[in-house]
């Protein structure tokens, strides 16, 4: 490969290479809701402060050894939580609304590209590493949060993300996350290693195969489970007792 330090151009993908990130998500979504929405359910500011503090603190172990990478990915998830907290609050949402402009969207997208380049291309730790620089997670996730913020506010220049191809990519995004190592591994068996043009062909074949696998899982597994979940939720809501109104007041419903 002409660029072994860039993950897209390396043949380091294995079938279960994403299992580590799934484990991180499982632990986060088991612990964070209890901490943020049970212990701090009436402490919105403390919840936001805790998310900010943890996002930075979890980066510190990286400075003391490679084992710190086990904690650093939590900062990326917390960056999304921070954005959600800010956009859910009326006053902070009003402040963020000024970011829904074309210049901000383009600037945030450019920042995301720059951070990716600095961490993956110009400062790699070793060939084939998915994460090149130790300080990758927090800057990259914060830049991504700025892009998401602009998109959520429907910034000018982001309309192409509502096109049919992008909507399709959104529908199959999670199966694609799970299956792209399989697609890339299959492409590696078909396309022999070579120069830049060959690697681009390998990448294109891998993307097509990954999308096909993701669409199949979306149709066969994901959509039926979503329908089942909606039916189950409907049954639960039907069994819920009717709200009892106080004398002279209309019943309160959700």
pLDDT in tens, 132-141: 455 677 788 8
Query: Same domain for 42 and 99?
Result: yes
**pLDDT the model gives residue 221:** 93
Which band of pLDDT confidence, cut at 50, 70 and 90, is reported for residue 241?
low
45 CB contacts (<8 Å, ≥6 apart)?
none
Q: What is the pLDDT of residues 10-39, one digit of tens each?
A: 444 455 566 777 788 888 888 888 888 888
Query: Same domain for 138 and 223?
Result: no
Query: Same domain for 40 and 79?
Result: yes
Query: Same domain for 207 and 89?
Result: no
**Among the three residues 109, 142, 160, which one is the final residue of a domain in this structure?**
160
Query: Same domain for 21 and 49?
Result: yes
Query: Same domain for 145 and 218?
Result: no
Report, in angstroms and rounded to the nearest whole number, the Rg of the chain calculated over CA atoms: 22
Query: Same domain for 84 and 4?
Result: yes
Domain that holds residue 72: 1-160
**pLDDT the model gives residue 27:** 87
pLDDT higher than 80, residue 67:
no
Q: Rounded distance, CA 9 to CA 184, Å? A: 11
Whether residue 222 contacts residue 175, with contact meaning beta carbons closer than 8 Å, is answered with yes
Top pLDDT among 156 and 207 is at 207
H or E stretch covering 197: helix 196-217
**Among the three residues 138, 160, 182, which one is the final residue of a domain in this structure?**
160
Q: Does residue 21 lie within any of the structural domains?
A: yes
Q: Does residue 253 lie within any of the structural domains?
A: no
Query: Same domain for 119 and 173?
Result: no
Crossing angle between the packed helical segments 173-190 and 164-171, to the nearest 10 degrees = 90
Query: Same domain for 86 and 139?
Result: yes
Number of domains comprising the chain: 2
Q: Does residue 244 lie within any of the structural domains?
A: no
**Among the three residues 137, 160, 183, which one is the final residue of a domain in this structure?**
160
Query: Which has the closest alpha carbon to 202: 13, 17, 16?
Result: 13
Mean pLDDT of 66-75: 76
Q: Rounded distance, CA 112 to CA 127, Å? A: 22
Indicate the DSSP class of residue 20: H
36 CB contacts (<8 Å, ≥6 apart)?
47, 50, 51, 81
Query: Same domain for 34 and 145?
Result: yes
Whether residue 21 contacts residue 73, with contact meaning beta carbons closer than 8 Å, is answered with yes
Q: Give the burial class of 11: count Cβ atoms within 10 A of its Cβ; 0-12 exposed, 13-18 middle, 19 or more buried.
A: middle
Query: Which has the closest alpha carbon to 82: 45, 107, 34?
Result: 45
Give the Cβ contact number of residue 109 at 10 Å.
19
Q: Does residue 141 lie within any of the structural domains?
A: yes
Q: Rounded distance, CA 18 to CA 184, Å? A: 13
Query: Same domain for 148 and 176?
Result: no
């Amino acid at each position: 490969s002409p660029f072994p330090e860039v993950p897209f151009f390396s043949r380091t993908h294995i079938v279960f290479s994403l299992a580590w990130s799934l484990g991180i998500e499982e632990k986060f979504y088991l612990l964070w809701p209890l901490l943020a929405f049970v212990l701090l359910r009436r402490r919105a500011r403390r919840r936001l402060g805790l998310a900010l503090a943890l996002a930075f603190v979890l980066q510190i172990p990286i400075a003391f050894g490679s084992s710190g990478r086990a904690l650093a990915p939590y900062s990326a998830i917390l960056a999304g939580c921070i954005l959600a907290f800010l956009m859910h609050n009326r006053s902070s949402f009003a402040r963020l609304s000024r970011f829904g402009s074309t210049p901000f969207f383009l600037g945030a997208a450019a920042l995301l590209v720059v951070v990716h380049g600095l961490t993956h291309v110009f400062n790699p730790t070793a060939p084939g590493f998915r994460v090149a620089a130790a300080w990758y997670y927090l800057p990259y996730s914060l830049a991504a949060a700025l892009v998401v913020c602009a998109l959520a506010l429907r910034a000018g220049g982001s309309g192409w993300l509502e096109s049919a191809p992008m909507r399709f990519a959104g529908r199959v995004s999670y199966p694609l996350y799970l299956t792209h190592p399989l697609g890339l591994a299959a492409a590696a068996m078909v396309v022999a290693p070579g120069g830049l043009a060959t690697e681009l062909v390998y990448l294109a074949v891998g993307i097509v195969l990954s999308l096909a696998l993701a669409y199949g899982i979306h149709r066969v597994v994901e959509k039926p489970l979503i329908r089942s979940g909606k039916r189950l939720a409907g049954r639960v809501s039907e069994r819920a007792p009717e709200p009892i109104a106080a004398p002279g007041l209309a019943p309160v419903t959700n």
